[in-house]
Amino acid sequence: MKKIFDIQRKFRFTVYILFASAVLMIGVSVYVFQLSANMVERSRQKIYVLDNGKSLLMALREDISENRNAEARDHVKRFHELFFTMEPDKDYIEKNVREALHMADRSAMDQYQSYKEKNLYNQVIASDISMTIQTDSISLDFSTYPYRFQFHGKQKIVRKSNITIRSLITSGTLRNISRTDNNPHGFLMENWRIKDNQDLETIKRKTF
């Protein structure tokens, strides 16, 4: 009888060991599966590109649609800052305008030519005028393509005798293009036009 009990105890012990081993193996398998799934997902978030066919670079893949709205706003804001910020320095003005023209179509060039014909840039340089732009709001419509936008801001024009605040409202559309060093957001402004650019107030500067 004692021998039978010993056999039963050994049998139960063996069953417990096998059950614990099975649970442990299942746990390890689940952990390995989850670890493998995470590694696969991370690998899908990476792409490999050749730099001039010589070296292999790793770059993170982005979901473009997530940041497209913010990029569009920054594109419009940056264009207006470059196009309307002026100092009495010819090289500075030309550099800003050159950068701005990479971000828009012929409509921006037409406005640039109009300013040149009106002698605006020479007046800025000759009269030591400084012009800056403040962005108030940028409205975007992504329900249609090309995407419509409208820019609202204020110009501050500083002369020797006074400071003029002028409204600035422009509109146009944005078209998707390839990203470049000169146009990192991958947008091109089209049909850009100035809808309003009137003086709001003029403040006399103090003279000493």
Give 86's DSSP letter: B
Give me 2's structure tokens: 């004692």
Structure confidence at residue 16 (pLDDT):
67
Per DSSP bridges, beta strands 199-204 and 162-176 are: antiparallel
Assign domain 66-204 to its CATH architecture: Roll (3.10)
Per-domain residue ranges for the chain? 2-59, 66-204
pLDDT in tens, 8-66: 666 666 766 777 777 777 777 777 777 776 765 666 555 555 545 544 444 444 455 55
What are the φ/ψ torsions at residue 9 (nearest 5 degrees)?
Answer: -65, -45
Rounded CA-CA distance 146/185 in Å is: 15
**Pick from 200, 92, 205, 93: which is nearest to 136 by CA?**
200
pLDDT tens per residue across span 185-202:
999 999 999 999 999 999
pLDDT digits (tens, 9 = 90+) for 138-147: 999 999 999 9
